[in-house]
């Protein structure tokens, strides 16, 4: 549960009458004091049983809360723009952490395989475990290289380009999936202990799985990547006068 008081929160919402604007101009961010009338922290929320203390993710109820117009961040209708400016680097950060969890899980898996035996030989000498270790390395390094490519585009100042948006969507899919798969294999090698509090694997798995939803679910990013893949081919076909 949250233990450190938060004085303000940033609220992203739609302003009355904004439906006439373009989709990306309908949302506004504003600063809301947590002690404002109508703000109620209902309960601390858990993800897979973990509460992320001491910060946490509580359910907050807003009942006719009023704040002055001066609390609007930047300008009315700029919410989506502000969010996107943060989401690109933020998603890269999420993916870097996912790769770090995968590397840690890989190390634990190998150590476990070198210490435990089954059917008269070390676990790492069994084909399924050895293959899993190799498959993990493929997944980790594939995800890492894709994240590095996305980061290099951002560092070059091209965050708003179509290429940058596509790469960020791709890593947001690839890195959490890779991490979850690697951690799952490590848990399997640890047996029941891998599901317990004796190892961090279960908590890491919960985090990796949650990443497939936070900051946009896989399906949204897949849709984005698909559109970017289809667009140039469709343009070529139209230019050539071909019929679909």
Q: What is the pLDDT along the chain (244 residues), one digit of tens a residue?
A: 445 567 889 999 887 776 677 777 788 999 999 999 999 988 888 888 887 765 677 889 999 999 999 999 998 888 888 887 777 888 999 999 999 999 999 999 999 999 999 999 999 999 999 999 999 999 999 999 999 999 998 888 765 577 888 999 999 999 999 999 999 999 999 999 999 999 999 999 999 999 999 888 999 999 999 999 999 899 888 888 766 5
- In this prediction, residue 4 carries a pLDDT of 56
With b for 16 or more beta-carbon neighbours within 10 A and e for fewer, the 169-203 pattern comes to bbbbbbbbbbbbbbbbbbbebbeeebeeeebebbb
Q: DSSP readout, 212-230? A: TTTTS-HHHHHHHHHHHHH
Q: Which has the closest alpha carbon to 123: 131, 113, 115?
A: 113
Do the beta carbons of residue 16 and residue 76 sit within 8 Å? no
Whole-angstrom Cα distance, residue 123 to residue 110?
Answer: 9
- In this prediction, residue 243 carries a pLDDT of 60
Pairing of strands 121-122, 117-118: antiparallel
Residue with tokens 């940033």, as numbered in its chain: 10
- In this prediction, residue 90 carries a pLDDT of 87
- In this prediction, residue 143 carries a pLDDT of 97
Tell me how far the alpha carbon of residue 83 is from its chain's centroid. Answer: 14
Backbone dihedral angles phi then psi of residue 217, each to the nearest 5 degrees: -70, 160
What distances in angstroms separate CA 52 from CA 8, 58, 212, one per listed residue? 19, 10, 17
Whole-angstrom Cα distance, residue 115 to residue 107?
Answer: 12
> Residues 66, 71, 76, 77: what is their CA dihedral angle, to the nearest 10 degrees?
-90
- In this prediction, residue 1 carries a pLDDT of 42
Q: Which has the closest alpha carbon to 186: 177, 174, 194, 197?
A: 194
User: Is there a cis peptide before residue 54, judged by omega within 30 degrees of 0?
Assistant: yes
DSSP 8-state assignment for residue 50: B
């Amino acid at each position: 549960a949250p233990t450190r008081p938060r004085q303000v929160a940033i609220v992203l919402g739609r302003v009355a009458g904004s439906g006439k604007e373009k989709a990306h101009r309908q949302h506004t961010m504003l600063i809301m004091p947590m002690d404002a009338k109508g703000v109620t922290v209902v309960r601390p929320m858990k993800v897979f049983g973990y509460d992320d203390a001491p910060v946490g993710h509580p359910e907050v109820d807003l009942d006719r809360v009023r704040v002055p117009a001066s609390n609007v961040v930047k300008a009315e209708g700029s919410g989506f723009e502000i969010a996107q400016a943060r989401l690109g680097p933020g998603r890269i950060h999420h993916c870097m952490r996912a790769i770090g969890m995968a590397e840690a899980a890989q190390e634990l898996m190998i150590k476990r395989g070198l210490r435990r035996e089954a059917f008269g030989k070390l676990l790492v000498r069994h084909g399924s475990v050895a293959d899993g270790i190799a498959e993990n390395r493929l997944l980790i390094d594939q995800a890492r290289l894709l994240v590095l490519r996305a980061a290099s585009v951002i560092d070059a100042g091209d965050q708003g380009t179509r290429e940058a948006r596509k790469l960020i969507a791709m890593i947001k899919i690839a890195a959490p999936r890779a991490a979850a798969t690697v951690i799952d294999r490590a848990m399997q090698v640890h047996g029941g202990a891998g599901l317990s509090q004796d190892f961090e694997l279960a908590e890491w798995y919960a985090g990796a799985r949650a990443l497939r939803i936070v900051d946009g679910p896989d399906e949204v990013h897949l849709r984005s990547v698909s559109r970017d893949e289809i667009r140039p081919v469709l343009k070529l076909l139209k230019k050539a006068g071909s019929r679909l």
